Structure 1
Amino acid sequence: MLIDVENKLWWVHFKYAKKGANQKDNFFMPIGKITDKDEKLLNEKALWGKLEVK
């Protein structure tokens, strides 16, 4: 998980899983705006709804 403080966005990154893809390459994607004042991902209700962490 990455935090873009300048644009106030949460970003995730994935490794390319396709056969033949360079395993060092990553795919980055924004998933939503940072709305929690403490910038804690688990407190972002708009992204997850009800999230239980074990």
Structure 2
Amino acid sequence: MVTAEINRIESVRRTKEEYLKERMKVCEKLAIKKKMNIKQPPPRDGGEEMSTV
């Protein structure tokens, strides 16, 4: 029983690590997209709205 419990915990830990790795990949992709968006000049409407707020 104890070994089965340990194995279950280990499998959960592995899936968590895989999940975190996937999250990191997604975050990196989003960060790259954001960087590319930042390189583009912001629209004048958006810039003016930001300054008034």
Q: Normalising by structure 2, what TM-score?
A: 0.18
Query: Which of the two has greater strand per residue?
Result: 1
Q: Normalising by structure 1, what TM-score?
A: 0.18
Higher relative contact order (CA 8 A, sep 6+): 1
Query: Which of the two has greater helix per residue?
Result: 2
Between Structure 1 and Structure 2, whose CA radius of gyration is higher?
A: 2
